[in-house]
Amino acid sequence: MRRLVNDGYEAVEEMLAGYVAAQGKYVDFAENDKRVIVSKQMSEEPRVRIIVGGGSGHEPLFLGYVGKDFADAAVVGNVNTSPSPEPCYNAVKAVDSGKGCLYMYGNYAGDVMNFDMGAEMAADDGIRVETVLVTDDIYSAEKVEDRRGVAGDLIVFKAAASAAAKGLDLDAVKQAAEKANANTYSMGVALSSSTLPVTGKAIFEMNEGEMEVGMGIHGEPGIKRSSIEPADKVVDQIMGYLIEEMKLKSGEEVHVLINGLGGLPVMDQYICYRRVDEILKEKGVHIHHPLVGNYATSMDMIGMSITLVRLDDELKELLDAPCDTPYFKLD
């Protein structure tokens, strides 16, 4: 295993301890739960609180987006594993200011079950908690409501957080998140597996020189496995699926996110962005704001995903609003 860990069973706790120590300007542990990261820069005025979360191994997702005018708390599970219900509930107790909370996370069965239980526990205390599931991975299911959440998490979280920062009520904040989710489309490619720190072994088998278009961030099956192809050819395939799914037309405006999965050099990511830029310009689609980097990873997996977000004035305002977190800042 080409990783720098101590005991694999302690990797999450040690990572969280290091993160809180390094990012003490922004975050701390919840008072009673070291699987809940809370913002030290929450607004003093009561507002809807944004709570995100899921399994570890996707850093900087989720904890990296806790800070000022973004997420108020992140609930952290084991590697590729949902957090248990108690920390989901404890996050609500740690940040609620009387306006209710919005849970947001990728659409995975374990997360849905445990966050729902956390919301039920909060309801017993008289705290209203609503949920928006992110479903941006277009290849993961035919029905949108059954799709997985991947790098589009960042977009949906940001839209909701900006709505909350404007002082909107819980219903309006949830509506903003749902609108962002409905207009966010992602698809990725993997060139390797990630490595589990507990076992020191790959999650799945992939031969040297292979790639799989459409694979999920936990190794969920994609469209096909083949020999690695040049960057432009890979981007052309992914963009073909995205444009068809979106029914993207000339004159429209999009947000673009090239997301590294942890092991792909930034050089390669910009090579991929270059081709995305060419394709969209040829189609007459305007790029409002490009993002390139590691925003939602799968530990050391070599690969990347492309996310396109169809924009209107409302979504542009929400996605451009200022925020300050360790891994995402806008002035």
Dihedral sign for Cα atoms in the order 231, 235, 236, 241: positive
298 and 262 Cβ atoms separated by less than 8 Å: yes
87 and 35 Cβ atoms separated by less than 8 Å: yes
Q: Point out the catalytic residue in the list 58, 255, 288, 289.
A: 58
What is the pairing mode between strands 129-134 and 323-325? unpaired
H or E element at residue 303: strand 303-310
Identify the CA nearest to 173 among candidates 321, 330, 328: 321
Task: Kindly give, in sequence order, each residue whose CB lies less than 8 Å from that of residue 223, ignoring residues fewer than 6 positions away.
Answer: 139, 212, 213, 214
CA distances from 137 to 74, 133, 319 (A): 22, 12, 20
Alpha carbons 108 and 309: distance in angstroms, whole number: 21
Q: Point out the catalytic residue in the list 218, 255, 288, 289.
A: 218
The 10 Å Cβ neighbour count of residue 98 is: 11
Q: Is 58 a catalytic residue?
A: yes
Q: Is 289 a catalytic residue?
A: no
What residues are annotated to the active site? 58, 218
